[in-house]
Amino acid sequence: MELLHHTLDNGIRLVHHRTNGITAHCGLIINTGSRDEKEKEHGMAHFVEHMLFKGTRKRKPYYIFSRLDNEGGELNAYTSKEETVIHASVLREDFEKAIDIISDMAYNSVFPEKEIAKEKEVIIEEINSCLDNPAELIYDNFEEMVFEGESLGRNILGTPRHIRSITRDTLTDFVRKNYNTTETIFCSAGNIPDKKIIRLFNKYFGNIPEKNHRSSRKQKHQYIPSTRIETRDTNQNHCIIGNIAFGYRDRRRFGLILLSNILGGQGLNSRLNMSLREKRGLVYNVESGYNSYRDSGIITIYFGTDSQNLEKSISIVNTELDKLRKTSLGTLQMHASKKQLKGYLARGYENHESLMLSLGKRLLVFNKIDSYEEICSRIDSITPSELLDTANEVFNPDKLSTLIFK
């Protein structure tokens, strides 16, 4: 895969992948998310992301919304625990419009007072929507339980109390302290010549003043496994079982990605889907997920079931975890599991919007981008004994936490 790299004097970096097709994609990834908030700033990063659409020095909100939508394109943004991302997908001939609007939103937003007041109500309704969705809420509550007292454990949206306390001054102060050019990636994918990409990159990002003052993100607390049951007015019982896990730079994360996929990945043949749903009909949805951060991570197993089947379902999950801890995968199982994972990876490479964002994040986190072949080689190098060691580390019964909504 041919990639174009370029770095501006202010530290903003570019990665571009030339593709065929009539559409193009681009995004700006800023190394600031909800874990960069102080306790009193809870919800600030997500609020800033919303306000990026609410007016710049040269555009009112309507013109931001309409700039690409009128051309059949799409403009969007999201906030994670560690990043703020603005991205767009457009027809190839509208590519410059996409770069223009993203640059304007990121560096010329004015945070109008009247828009702040309206957006507080919008975000509080977003929080209420999450509270009404136990299958979503339980993930937030589980991370809060596992990363207790840490910004990494706080949910991204904030609380109504924190949202109502936000002012224009606190927003601009948060941006000033946390949005650094030296930790910003512009990523793109499309049939755009290299010379044009570099020209547009310089035009829209070259005059941004350099900023670089990142504070430490290291966790301070000691993880203590726990079990919690919360009473909720739900039609199902919801359950998450999990543990802290490996960060981005830990080589064991590849083995854990493979284990998580075997256990409860997107395939219908995952062990938990077969044992809980297909064989016994105890659940509709069961899944395993692994999220890694710079210095830590979290592995989760989620399912929803009728109250009378809760204990039986937990027992089956523990049985499957016990198998992973005690029994090595055979040659055929290892081959099939690796091929499945590499197939998912290959499909992601064919989705140019997803690939574009993945390239940007990998450059931000690792300062390099491994090729598909290099990633597959790392997957192929995973051994049964490595998986067994990882399973015993992460799925140790004494280290697992459980959260149940009844």
Domain ranges, ordered by start, for the chain: 3-205, 227-405
Q: State whether CATH 3.30.830.10 applies to domain 227-405.
A: yes
pLDDT (average), residues 54-81: 96
Q: Which residues, in sequence order, are CB contacts of 342 under 8 Å at separation 6+?
A: 376, 379
Terminal-residue alpha carbon distance, the chain: 49
Q: Could you confirm whether 113 is annotated as catalytic?
A: no
Q: Is the pLDDT of residue 292 over 80?
A: yes
pLDDT digits (tens, 9 = 90+) for 192-243: 999 999 999 999 999 999 998 766 677 667 899 999 999 998 999 999 999 9
Q: What are phi and psi of 111, to 5 degrees?
A: 50, 65
pLDDT (average), residues 39-65: 96
Do domains 3-205 and 227-405 share one topology? The answer is: yes
What is the average pLDDT score of the chain? 96
The dihedral over CA atoms of 377, 342, 293, 173, expressed in degrees to the nearest 10, equals 110
37, 41, 49, 353: which is the annotated catalytic residue? 49
The CATH fold of domain 3-205 = Cytochrome Bc1 Complex; Chain A, domain 1 (3.30.830)
pLDDT digits (tens, 9 = 90+) for 100-149: 999 999 999 999 999 999 999 999 999 999 999 999 999 999 999 999 99
Q: Which of 110, 99, 111, 109 is nearest to 206 (CA)?
A: 99
| Rg (the chain; Cα; Å) | 22
Quick check: 168 and 174 in contact, CB under 8 A? no
